Structure 1
Amino acid sequence: MPRFSVIVPAYRVQAYLHACLESVLAQSYPDFELIVVDDGSPDACGAIADEFAALDPRVRVVRLPRNEGLGPARNAGMARAGGDYLVFLDGDDTLTPGALRAVADRIKETGGPDVLVYDYARTYWTGETVRNQAAAHLTEQGPAPFRLTDRPGLLKLLMVAWNKAVRREFAEREGLTFPPGYYEDTPWTYPVLMTAGSVATLDRVCVHYRQRRRGSILGTPSERHLDVFDQYDRVFAFLESRESRPGTHPDPARWRPLLYRRMADHLTTVYTRPDRLPRSLRAEFLRRARVHCRRYRVPGAPAPLPVRLRHALLRLGLRRTYAALRLASALRRRTANGTTALLNAVRAGALRLHYRVQRCLPLRADRAVFAVEGNRGYGRDPGALEEAFRRLAPHVRTAWAADPAHHHTVPPGTRRLTPGTAAHWTALARSRYLVRDSAFDPGLLRRRGQVLVQTQAGTPLKHMGLDLQERPAAAHGTDFARLLRDVDSWDHVVSANRHSTLTWERVHPGDWTTLEYGQPRTDVLQRATAADVARLRETLGIPEGTVAILYAPTHRDYRRTQRAALDLERVVRRLGPRFMVLARAHPRHGGPLAASGGRVLDVGDHPHVESLCLASDALVTDYSSLMFDYAGLDRPVVIHAAEPEAYEAARGTYFDLRSFPPGAIARDEDELIAVFAGGDWHGARAARLRAAFRERFCPYDDGRAADRVVRRVVLGETDLPPVVPLAARRPAPSAASLGPVAPLPSAVPALRADDANAATGDPARAPLTTVPQPAGPRTVTDSL
């Protein structure tokens, strides 16, 4: 008996069925059967299902002689199901990677509930993915399992079958089946939740709910939408059947007011959506809605005033009044939007005038303003420089510009500024020092005597600046004229190494001075102690003796939607209990790489990536500049070189990472598992590659980079502290390096030969220039 019976009805979804079935068969949890019900589909759905059944014995095909609809098709699948739990999936939707594993683990954790409710996200044909807005009701906090009476808010979720796993024995005992017609989910979901003796939730997106541009049932005007009345008749008939059996679960008196409100809201949605009802049926729909509201209304049921008013209009059948109120509401919203736009324009004009006035006032030589890309919290290179300002130049008062949500990250003693406010523009107009790692604020005009320090975002591997002119996928509509105007305002550019210097001077041509002093944000990595590492690991909940892998992939410009290239749950399962993964998505990824908890921990919201570097034992990345920072720690770096041709074609790189890597390279998930299972990730060969990489890209990352910048720019010193040689540096050791980590006796496939991994580690093989010894600042004009 399989754990899950995944039931997929298929009718006119031939364009999407492949993706649907593949998303099930590719699950890391293999204990399931896949039942595809060909609902008399006139297209190729039946043939596609047969192809999958011929390739995988877990796939079974059920054929209906004629089209019956979603409800009867699901019933046909249920009649042939043999799994412990029923999982429903529409033929144009998909399961997310690792969904069944997460569902199975949560079922086991909560003692096998009758129903497990999980989350979904809408995926649009434009590539946009939006998570369910009511996801807060799926929190896993509190007792579990529970009954619906303990958390009635679950009834506010979308009433569908495919966001639940239902125990088959429970469904058969209660005689739960789907009715025919549209909205067949309604008389299934309410009885399932109200009858269940135990319910649990899983706060994880397990289904991608496809929003088709054309052709979906709910997006096609039809008289079939009148079926919604029959479905609610079935729901209330179910309640009435329970009234005839006193003491049974559920209690009808408790649920009738809530069901009435949900019905009224649902009917209002159907009536007001232009893609549901043909114009000729709107009057009839409203008449029937009036009958249903009068029939099932519970007087005195609590509801907000706007909701009661909307339900009253529906109950009284006041179609013209309803239409007039909707028109008035729309006009009010438009007026409000217009007023808001006018006020915003007036405010913007006032701020521009305020900025001009402030620029006429004397410059304050004891003021400095710092910020990072996206106006996020304190950290990165500007954060390291701000700390050095306070330590070495205490006469300069510093301020940090960030959105209010990030103000709590700013240390005490540093002024907090909100971008776009009068105080922010005053600081920009009158502060002598402005420091940022991305484009400076639009509208900023550099004053005589101001010093603008651009720290960039790390050592460049992928193409940047003017090099993106021939790469539209990566440029994303970049205004290159504006970019050059911004470049012309820079006074200094902080550079980590000679490779960065030569790149920045070419792709950001301007009359600025290069400060080739190292990457300030790496100072904390060099200054941390073993005690700091232990404290950070304890804070993150990393068990003692565990090898923590930091997984930090970069953004893929050629993809409209970002998806995880690795099944992290499968990776840690194959590696065993001694390993765990800290998953950190790129800031532009748009969502977590994995569910938080267990041995795959989502750390995407952690404010400081430097802390994650210190807490981890190894880094796995693809083309992220984080590898250059991490190499300075002298800890293992493993490159997951997935889709190198696509990345090179879309974004381009300044050198072939496979020819000069910082450590072992894996081309796919199985090779990555083999690298860690076999011990190649921290072997002698990986150490040689990392040493050559550090020599090339970390010549000045000795913990004093920020000091050198501040001493040069603020204090005017030219005789700067010498750079600590690589051999003399002692970065904090990782937890794994404190004791031997023996290779695993694994049954994973052996690592295949790789041209990159066969490299000798000779720096001469990489098309890069030799790293110079520290020298004074270099100007662009001098280099030319």
Structure 2
Amino acid sequence: MHRIDVVVPVRDAARFLPTFLASLDANSPEGCRYLVVDDASGDETPRVLADAARTRPHLEVLRTDRPRGAAGARNVALERLDARWVTFADVDDWSAPGHLAAMLERADELGADMVRTDHVRVVGHRRIPETAPAQRRGAVFAAREGIGGPDGQTLVDYPFLWAGVFDARLAARGLLTFDERLRTASDRPWFWRLHLAGTTCAVVPSPGYFYRRNPASGSLTENAGAATLDFLPAYEQVLDLADASGDAAHRVRAMYGACRIVAYHTGREERLPPALRRAMHARAALLLARGDDDTFAAALEHAPARARRLLAGLRRVGRRRTAGERAS
């Protein structure tokens, strides 16, 4: 058994591989294995990875015969897990030397089901430290505590797979599998499931992961298209999970998250062609129409002020639509 498996989905990313491989070489402690899944790339990615694997025994390259997306590629690697811990990386990012070893040391020491950490956001030449949103650090606590209240950012909405390590035994409970129908935002319900599953969590200060956030990275989040709208079914799942928890505070938190992400994407809707804009508004209206008025009012109170009128209007449209469907 390995000490840790690092899951990395890759598609048409040859231009990022030199930096990624340098980061891999600087973060390969004893017992580490990289499971890199080439998701049917059409560029030089397969050749570069094959060459790299010849001199790196801890690099295992898997390949899909058709594009399955980041969620599907991660699932391919998760089926091959054979480690105490698992973490994730994106091919266009990198880590400081020794980052993974430091994370493993704290994970072994604390023994929580997930150990989260800070990171550094990279925007062009800027380096912006980002702190994992948790008041308790260096101690183990019930992961449900990380869901938090109706405002601000909390751990459940810190959706960065690479910002921490996870107990690989969670895979046997079905908690590490990603929904392949979600081309983007599959990490949102993934984290909610983890936090609601009776797991434990810890947060440690280790800002050694550098997250490249810009359009040139090729991220589906940054490059508008039909996949962008997958945040809507992702938050349908989040609201379902919160409803199933039976906790009113969780329902408010989930609706608050839905409000924030709808506000974010409608605030940048000029990226989308007109047909996708209309589809986003229609589907967002149905998403925000869910739940009771008190839950929505509590969530809206903490939503971005500039978007509250829009969000309330979308809910009214959605409620009229659902009422009309029930009447017919």
TM-score by length of 1: 0.37
Per-residue CA deviation, residues 22-63 of structure 1 (Å, 9 max, x unaligned), is: 212322622211011000111111112211211111111111
**Displacement of 1:252:** 4.0
CA distance in 2, matches of 1:19, 1:25: 10
CA distance in 2, matches of 1:58, 1:275: 44
SS in 1 for 2:237: helix
Partner of 2:213: 211
Partner of 2:325: none
Change in CA separation of 1:13 and 1:196 when aligned onto 2, cut-off 3 Å: farther
**Displacement of 1:267:** 1.3
Partner of 1:188: 190
| 1:136-285 → structure 2 map (5 Å cutoff) | 137-138=133-134, 141=137, 144-151=139-146, 152=148, 154-155=154-155, 157-180=157-180, 181-214=183-216, 215-240=218-243, 243=244, 251-274=246-269, 276-285=271-280
Per-residue CA deviation, residues 729-750 of structure 1 (Å, 9 max, x unaligned), is: xxxxxxxxxxxxxxxxxxxxxx
Indicate if the aligned counterparts of 1:270 and 1:277 stay in contact, CA closer than 8 A.
no
SS in 1 for 2:54: helix
**Displacement of 1:145:** 0.5
State the one-letter code of the partner of 1:137. Answer: P
Partner of 1:131: 129
Change in CA separation of 1:121 and 1:279 when aligned onto 2, cut-off 3 Å: farther
**Displacement of 1:274:** 4.7
Q: Which has the larger radius of gyration?
A: 1
CA distance in 2, matches of 1:174, 1:312: 39
CA distance in 2, matches of 1:192, 1:156: 9
Indicate if the aligned counterparts of 1:7 and 1:74 stay in contact, CA closer than 8 A.
yes
Change in CA separation of 1:293 and 1:170 when aligned onto 2, cut-off 3 Å: same
**Number of equivalences:** 306
**Displacement of 1:96:** 1.9
Per-residue CA deviation, residues 618-658 of structure 1 (Å, 9 max, x unaligned), is: xxxxxxxxxxxxxxxxxxxxxxxxxxxxxxxxxxxxxxxxx
Per-residue CA deviation, residues 435-491 of structure 1 (Å, 9 max, x unaligned), is: xxxxxxxxxxxxxxxxxxxxxxxxxxxxxxxxxxxxxxxxxxxxxxxxxxxxxxxxx
State the one-letter code of the partner of 1:130. Answer: I
Indicate if the aligned counterparts of 1:36 and 1:59 stay in contact, CA closer than 8 A.
yes
CA distance in 1, matches of 2:270, 2:118: 25
Partner of 1:505: none
SS in 2 for 1:30: coil
Change in CA separation of 1:139 and 1:4 when aligned onto 2, cut-off 3 Å: farther
Structure 1, 171-180 or 9-18: larger mean CA deviation? 171-180
**Displacement of 1:160:** 2.6
Indicate if the aligned counterparts of 1:146 and 1:200 stay in contact, CA closer than 8 A.
yes
Change in CA separation of 1:149 and 1:188 when aligned onto 2, cut-off 3 Å: closer
CA distance in 1, matches of 2:310, 2:215: 32
State the one-letter code of the partner of 1:87. Answer: T
Indicate if the aligned counterparts of 1:160 and 1:186 stay in contact, CA closer than 8 A.
no
State the one-letter code of the partner of 1:232. Answer: Y
Change in CA separation of 1:70 and 1:196 when aligned onto 2, cut-off 3 Å: farther
CA distance in 2, matches of 1:254, 1:262: 12
Per-residue CA deviation, residues 324-379 of structure 1 (Å, 9 max, x unaligned), is: xxxxxxxxxxxxxxxxxxxxxxxxxxxxxxxxxxxxxxxxxxxxxxxxxxxxxxxx
Change in CA separation of 1:305 and 1:26 when aligned onto 2, cut-off 3 Å: closer
Q: What is the RMSD of the two structures over their aligned residues, measured on CA atoms?
A: 2.5
**Displacement of 1:228:** 1.4
CA distance in 2, matches of 1:212, 1:231: 22
Indicate if the aligned counterparts of 2:260 and 2:303 stay in contact, CA closer than 8 A.
no
CA distance in 2, matches of 1:79, 1:165: 17
Change in CA separation of 1:46 and 1:251 when aligned onto 2, cut-off 3 Å: farther
Runs of 5+ in structure 1 lacking a partner?
244-249, 320-784
SS in 1 for 2:206: strand
If asked which structure has higher relative contact order (CA below 8 Å, sep 6+), I would say 2
Partner of 1:295: 290
Indicate if the aligned counterparts of 1:218 and 1:276 stay in contact, CA closer than 8 A.
no
